[in-house]
Amino acid sequence: MLKPRLLCYLVLVLVSLSASNSRVGATELESEIAILSKQLLDSARNENFFGWLKKVRRRLHEYPELSFQEYETSQLIRSELDSIGVHYNWPVAKTGLIASIGSGGPPFFSLRADMDALPIQELVEWEHKSKVSGKMHACGHDAHVTMLLGAAKLLNDRRTELKGTINLVFQPGEEGHAGAYHMLQESNVDKLQAIFGLHVWPDLPTGTIGSKPGPLLAGSSRFSAVIQGIGGHAAAPHETRDPTLAAALSILALQQIVSRETDPLEARVVTVTFMEGGKTGNVIPETVRFGGTYRSATLEGLLFLQQRIKEVIEAQAAVHRCTSVVEFMMGSIKYYPPTINDEGLYGHAKRMGEILLGESKVQEVSMTMAAEDFSFFSQKMPAAFFFVGIKNETLNSDKPLHSPEFVLDEDVLPIGAALHAIVAISYLDDHAVKAL
């Protein structure tokens, strides 16, 4: 029988050896990931591969399609997946599709790209300018689709080595129509156990990425109001009930919800974006319609703003002897919850970005009050959303998203494809090991 002191010594030795072996194993794994990352990025930057990426992106850019109208976009994606032999389910949420690469079994990991364009007339004159009047990929979704197709090629080349299944989620209807919500309603959520997404970002230089743990993007919704009065001649306002005055004072009062009813340390926004009334210079109209958006860093804040917007408009209308109807368009346009990065998955993606691009190329960014329907995924599963830089002043690719002068630095395409691939492959490796 071993003496207690000797037994303790042996236990300490075994623990020390185990820790040493773990460090060696971790170092070896890190080295393998670094080699694989370089291989993926080199492959994506290969002249033929990069040329194909640019060709796909330019084709998408020339023929933009609005939310849930992405028929040609979906056809192009399916054709490219067919050409490399990747299986997919289609349609999902009308025009979307979900492809899969790997064993078909767990662990599962998902990569997402949105597909839709915006009702904006492109003002940039170049060879591949939008050929569809009044429509433009002004938010970079053409690049998102291209990067995910690039990742599909990189992953499919390594499909027999994948330790699980990678889902490629090509999602319609991000621009105000909650396509992610509808995809979740129609897909097998059990096979979307974690998800990663990228968005091009003109505030970050090309070759860099950025994100943060926890809340990254605001929750957002929209409202509209109609104030009904009694119209009449502008020379006799006392004989009318002027809805223009009631609307104007409602708009002013709405600004006080943030400035006087919200903790200054809490991020909230109420913005009126349109107002429609009469068109005659000497006639007070019967009705005035206005509306806009409200945003918050929390779901609770979003619901509070909704309640107060309704109360303020109804009260101002009543003060001026008018009536009002306030709508939040929950049927046609769902509210977007805040986008919240899972800390563990954020850390994983951040580390892969550092290995792929270098630690100095990965930044922690501030939360922004922009909104994204990727938030619906983040409500259901661990999710990480990252910005990938496209800022290159020599190309004028520093214009804001949703601008008719938006320009993309196509050097981002191989970076996004390789980042998608290494985040997914390493996630499967990590979770396959944990399952043993």
Rounded-to-integer distance, Cα 76 and Cα 139, Å:
19
Domains parsed from the chain with CATH numbers: 32-217+338-433 (3.40.630.10), 219-328 (3.30.70.360)
User: Binding site: what residues are annotated?
Assistant: 139, 141, 175, 199, 402
Average pLDDT over residues 397-411: 98
User: Binding site for Mn(2+): what residues are annotated?
Assistant: 139, 141, 175, 199, 402
Say which residue, 47 or 17, is predicted with more confidence.
47
Q: Answer yes or no: is pLDDT of 428 > 70.
A: yes
Q: Answer yes or no: is pLDDT of 281 > 70.
A: yes
Full-model pTM = 0.89
Average pLDDT over residues 201-205: 98
Q: What is the pLDDT of residue 435?
A: 57
Average pLDDT over residues 137-162: 98
Q: What is the pLDDT of residue 192?
A: 87
Encode pLDDT of 70-109 as tens digits: 999 999 999 999 999 999 999 999 999 999 999 999 999 9
Average pLDDT over residues 294-305: 95
Average pLDDT over residues 112-140: 98
Name the band, by pLDDT with cuts 50, 70 and 90, for residue 190: confident
Q: What is the pLDDT of residue 332?
A: 56
Q: Answer yes or no: is pLDDT of 10 > 60.
A: no
* SS3 annotation, the chain: CCCHHHHHHHHHHHHHHHHHHHHHHHHHHHHHHHHHHHHHHHHHHCHHHHHHHHHHHHHHHHCCCCCCCCHHHHHHHHHHHHHHCCEEEEEECCCEEEEEEECCCCCEEEEEEECCCECCCCCCCCCCCCCCCCCECCCCHHHHHHHHHHHHHHHHCCHHHCCCEEEEEEECCCCCCCHHHHHHHHCCHHHCCCEEEEEEEEEEECCCEEECCEEEECEEEEEEEEEECECEECCCHHHCECHHHHHHHHHHHHHHHHHHHCCCCCCEEEEEEEEECCCCCCEECCEEEEEEEEEECCHHHHHHHHHHHHHHHHHHHHHCCCEEEEECCCCCCCCECCEEECHHHHHHHHHHHHHHHCHHHEEECCCECCCCCCHHHHHHCCEEEEEEEEECHHHCCCCCCCCCCCCCCCCHHHHHHHHHHHHHHHHHHHHHHHHC
Q: What is the pLDDT of residue 217?
A: 97
